[in-house]
Structure 1
Amino acid sequence: MRQSRAAAHGTGVGTGVGLARLAVLALTGSVLVPLVVAGLRSVLWALAGIAGLALAAAGAWWTLAHTGVVRALGLALSVAAPLAVLAVYAAYGMLWPACLALALWVLAVACARTALAPAHATTERAVDEAPRHPWVLMNPRSGGGKVGRFHLVDKARAAGAQVVLLEGPRHQDVAGLARQAVAEGADLLAVAGGDGTQALVAEVAARHDLPFAVIPVGTRNHFALDLGLDRDDPVAALEALTGGVELRVDLGYAGDRVFVNNASFGTYASVVADPAYRDAKRHTVLRTLPGLLTGEDAPTLRMRAGQTRAEGLQALLVSNNPYGRAVDAARPGRRERLDSGLLGVVGVRVTDTAQAAGMVRGPRAAGLLRAGAPDVVVESDTATLPVGIDGEHAVLPAPVLCHSAPGALRVRVPRHRRRTPRAGGEPADWPRVARLALGRPH
C-alpha cells in the first residue's frame, strides 16, 4: 500500500512539473508572438482588444438592465465592439497573431492552475454486497423523455429494483415517496430525474444512512457530471443497483432545505419565482431583469462567510463545494471535488456601466466576490428571501443560514467512470509555477 501511494504521489509531482513547464512555454509564446509580428506596437493592439471587451461588457449591461432604445443600443454595442476590433486586426494583419496569442494564453492559464492544484481523489469503497431491495424514482419527463428512450424502467426492474414513476400528484411529494420506500424496507434509493428531485431523495437517504444512486436523465445533471457519470449513457449508472463503488460526499443546506449543487439568491432566484419562467425562460429573463438590476425591486443582499463580508450584492450563489471559475478553460462551471466540507460562494455587484465594463478583469473585478467557508449567512432587509434551490423555487425566512454537511451522503457509482481532472479555483500564481517548472516546488 505504501509503495502504491508513493508511486501515485511521484506521478502527481512529475505531472505537475510537466504542466508547469508547458504553462511557462505557452505564456512566453503568447507574449512573443505579437512582439515578433508588431514589436512594441503590440501593446497598443492589446489595449485595443481590452477596450473592445470592455465596450462589449458595457453593451451587455445596457441590454440586461434597460429596455427600449437603450436595450437596442446595448445589444448593438455588445456585438459591434468585438467585431470592430476583429475587423481592425484583420485589416492590419494582426488577426492570426492575436488569435494564436490568445490560444496560448488560455493554454498557459489552464496548465498553470492545474499544475498547482492539489492532487485529490475522493476515497472509494468497494461494495461488498449488492442491495437486496433497491428503489428507483424515475421522472419520465426529464431530459425530454430519456427514461423511455433508454428503456430504463425495464432495465432497472431486471436488475431487481422497485421502480416508481413520478407522475400526476406524486410530483408534489418526492420526499414522501422516498420515506415510504425506506419504511417498506428499501436499502438503496436512486433517482432518474433532475437535480432538484435528486436533492429531495438524497436528503432522505442521508438521514437514514442509506446508499444513494444517480441515474443521469435530466437536462443538466450537474451533480452527476461532477460524480464522473456519463450523462449521455444513463444505462451505465444502473450498475449502482447491483454493485459499483461507494463514495462519501457532502450535502449543502439552505435553512432546512438540502441542495446537491447550489442555492441561488437575488436576481436569479427572483426570475425563477416568476410563474412564466418555466414556459418562456428567455422572454421572462429579458422582461424582469431591468427591474431586478436597477429598479425599485432590485434585491440587495448581505453575506457573511467566515472572515468575508459583503453587502449590496445583487446575486449570490452558494454551492455544495466550490466551483471552478466560469472562465476556467479546463473545466468551466465544474467542481473539482465534492467532499471538501466547504460551501463555495460567488457574489455579483454591478450597479452601473463602469462596473459592468470592469468585469473583463475576471476574478479580480471589483464587482465579483469569491469565497469558501463551511457556513454562509445570507441577509436582506425583507422578512423572507426567494431562493433557487437546485433550480427549484423556494421562499425561506431571512436570514438564511447555509451550511455544509461533510460526508453526509453515501453515493453508489459505477466502477468505471470518467475521472474529474485536477483544477484550481484561484488565479494562477506565476512565481510558484516558475519555481515548479525549474524543479523547485517550495
Structure 2
Amino acid sequence: MPQASVVSPARHWLARLSFAATTAAVVLVLAVAGLRGSVGLLLAGAFGCATALAAAWWFLTHRGLWRWLAATVVVLAPVAVAVVYMRHRLLWVVIVFVLLWVAAVAAGRRALAEPGHGPAEVVTAAPLRPYLIMNPRSGGGKVERFHLAERARALGAHVFLLDGPAVDVAEVARRAIRAGADLLGVAGGDGTQALVAGVAAEHGLPFLVISAGTRNHFALDLGLDRDDPSTCLDALTDGVEVRVDLGRIGDRTFVNNASFGAYAAVVQSPAYRDDKVGTTLEMLPGALTGTNGPHLALTVDGVTVTGSQAVLVSNNPYATGDIAGLGQRPRLDLGVLGVLAVTVRGAADAARLVSGRGRARSLTVRAATEAIVDADAPAVPVGVDGEAVLLPTPVRCAIRPGVLRVRVPRQRPGTRRALPEMDWTRLRRLALASRRT
C-alpha cells in the first residue's frame, strides 16, 4: 500500500489565505455596490475587463489601423473603469480590490508549488582533454567580453572558434572525439548546444554548457549562472556530473523545445533575427487566425487534436503556468516530453485562455514519451531550440531518458522554483484537505 505524502501545513494555510483574499475582494465590491444602490458600478467593471480582453485579441490578430485602435482600447478600458469609480469617490475600492487580488494569486501560486528535486550529482574525475566550441557572435559577443577562450585555454582546454561561414558543428565535435577529447563543451546558443550535446550523448562523453547565448534556457534549467558565463568553466576543475534527458525530433536533437505553428512561422522568417518584435507583430495575425501556414494535427497518447495555432513539444514539461515555453522547467530528468497545444477560435477562447477560466477548451497539456505532429502539407516549419528548420510530415518527437552526462560547477546559483499557474480546483482541494493527502 503506498504511503500517504505529507503536505506542508504552510501550503494549506496559503491556499486558505488565497481564498480569503479572493472572498474579501468580491465582498468589498458587492458591499460597496449594495450600499450605493448601484449595479452599474459592477457592470462597469465587468464590461471594462471584457472589453480589454477582446481588444487584446484584436491587437494580436490584426494589422495596421485596427491593431493600434485595439491597443488604445486595451489601455483606455481599465482607465475608464477607474474614472467611473473616481467620479463616485470609490477609487480606493479599485486599489484595495487589486491589492487583494494580487495577494490571492501570490498566495495561491505558492500554495500550489511542489517542492522540486534536481537530478542526482555524481563526483567524477576532471577531464584531461576538454574540447570547447565557442561562437564569438553569440549573445552579443559574450565570448570576447568575458574572455572565455583565454580562460578556457588557461585551464587546459582546446578551444575551437566558430568564426567561419557554414561550419558543421557536429562534425567538428566528432573530429575532436577522434583526436582524443574526453569532454565536449559549447559557449553559444541553445541550437548549437543541442547539436554538440547529441554528439556527446552518442559517444557517452560528458558535456559542458557555457551560458554565452542570448537566452540560455538550457543553462537556466541546469542552475548555471547566466549573468557570468565564465563561472561555468569552474566545472573543468571543480565539477560534478548530472544525467539529463534529451529530446529527439526526426534525426535532430533538442535540449529545450520544438515549436510548430505560430511561433515556428515567426522564427522561420528571414527578418526574425534582425527584428524579433517587429517580425512577430507582423506575422502573428496570419499565424493565430490560420490564414497562413499549414493546419496542424497533434497526436499524443492515442488522441488527436486538430486546428491548433501552436504546438510546443519540450524536453521535459515547463512549469504549469508557462504556456509559451519561455520560462523554466523544474526538472530535466523525468523521462517525458512536455506537450502543449493552443487552439483559439476567437476572442471568447482568448479571454478564457488569458483569465485561466475554462482553459481546457483552448489548451491541451500532456506529458508523454512520444508526440506526432502532422499537417496538410508535405513539410512543416519548426523552431528547434530557436533555430528555423523545415521538416517532412509527419514529424515524430521522442524523449531519450538520461542519455546526456552534463558536467556542471559544484557551486552554482541553482534552479529557482517556478511558481505554477492558478488552478482553482486544486487550490480548493488543498485548502479543504487535512495535512495528509
Contact 1:30 1:105 in 2 (8 A): yes
Greater shift in the superposed pair: 249-258 or 50-59: 50-59
Q: Does 1:415 align with 2:410?
A: yes
Partner residue of 1:180?
175
CA contact (8 A) 2:294 2:380 kept: no
The answer for the alignment partner of 2:344 in structure 1 is 350
Q: Deviations over 1:52-108 (max 9, x none)?
A: 443223212212222233223222222222333344455512122122112211222
Task: Find out whether 1:321 has 2:316 as its counterpart.
Answer: yes
**Matched position secondary structure for 2:242:** strand
SS in 1 for 2:356: helix
For 2:40 and 2:320, how far apart are their aligned partners in 1?
Answer: 28
| Matching residue within 281, 285, 291 for 1:286 | 281
Partner of 2:112: 113
**What letter matches 1:210 in structure 2?**
L
Tell me how far apart the structure 2 counterparts of residues 23 and 325 of structure 1 sit (CA, whole Å): 17
CA shift for structure 1 position 422: 4.5
- Report if the CA contact (8 A) 1:27-1:108 is conserved: no
Indicate the percent of aligned positions where both proteins have the same amino acid: 50
Query: SS at the partner of 2:294?
Result: coil
Q: Per the alignment, in what secondary structure is the counterpart of residue 271 of structure 2? A: coil
* Segment drifting more, 266-275 vs 280-289: 280-289
Give, in whole Å, the separation in 2 of the partners of 1:45 and 1:245: 60
Quote how far apart the aligned CAs of 1:308 are. Answer: 3.9
**CA–CA separation in structure 1 for the residues paired with 2:160 and 2:42:** 58
2:147 is equivalent to residue 148 of structure 1: no
Q: In the alignment, which residue of structure 2 is the partner of 1:3?
A: none
Q: How does 1:8-19 map to 2 (within 5 A)?
A: 13=6, 16-19=8-11
In the alignment, does 2:124 pair up with 1:123?
A: no
CA distance in 2 between partners of 1:106 and 1:75 (Å): 26
Query: What is the TM-score with the length of structure 1 in the denominator?
Result: 0.88
How far, CA to CA, are the matches of 1:266 and 1:94 in structure 2? Answer: 42
How far apart, CA to CA, are the structure 2 residues paired with 1:296 and 1:332? 25
Secondary structure, aligned partner of 2:317: coil
What letter corresponds to residue 195 of structure 1 in structure 2?
Answer: D
Summarize the alignment of residues 354-369 of structure 1 with structure 2, pairs less than 5 Å apart.
354-362=348-356, 364-365=358-359, 366-369=361-364
1:372 positional shift: 1.3
CA distance in 2, matches of 1:24, 1:252: 39
Total equivalences in the alignment: 424
Alignment of 1:375-390 (within 5 A): 375-390=370-385
Conservation of the 8 A alpha-carbon contact between 1:125 and 1:246:
yes
SS of residue in 1 equivalent to 2:330: coil
- The 3-state SS of whatever aligns with 1:172 is coil
CA contact (8 A) 2:170 2:196 kept: yes
Which of 66, 69, 76 lines up with 2:72 in the alignment? 76
Structure 1: which amino acid aligns with 2:101?
L
Which runs of 5 or more residues in structure 1 are unaligned? 1-8
Partner deviation per Cα, 1:31-55 (whole Å, 9 max, x = no partner): 2255357627499878765644432
Cα pair 1:325 1:332 within 8 Å, conserved: no
For 2:40 and 2:370, how far apart are their aligned partners in 1? 45
Aligned residue number for residue 58 of structure 1: 54
1:327–1:412 Cα change, 3 Å: closer
> Is the Cα–Cα contact under 8 Å of residues 387 and 395 in structure 1 kept in the other structure?
yes
Matched, 1:206 2:201: yes
User: Helix, strand or coil for the counterpart of 1:395?
Assistant: strand
Distance (Å, rounded) in 1 between the aligned partners of 2:72 and 2:299: 38
Report the equivalent of 1:28. 20
Over aligned residues, Cα RMSD in angstroms?
2.7
The residue number in structure 1 matching 2:430 is 433
Q: Is there any run of 5+ residues in structure 2 with no aligned partner, and where?
A: none
Contact 1:318 1:344 in 2 (8 A): yes
- Equivalent residues in 2 for 1:217-228, closer than 5 Å: 217-228=212-223
Partners of 1:22 and 1:287 lie apart in 2 by 42
Structure 2 matches for 1:186-265, cutoff 5 A? Answer: 186-265=181-260
Q: Please, which moves more after superposition, 102-111 or 257-266?
A: 102-111
Task: In structure 1, give the amino acid aligned to 2:343.
Answer: R
Distance 1:87 1:226 in 2: 44
CA shift, 1:382, in A, is 0.6
Partner SS, residue 103 of structure 1: helix
TM-score, normalized by length of structure 2?
0.89
2:42, 2:332 → 1: CA distance?
39
1:393 paired residue number? 388
Q: Deviations over 1:272-324 (max 9, x none)?
A: 11111111222222222333333642432111111443110111111111111
Distance of 1:359 and 1:278 partners within structure 2: 29
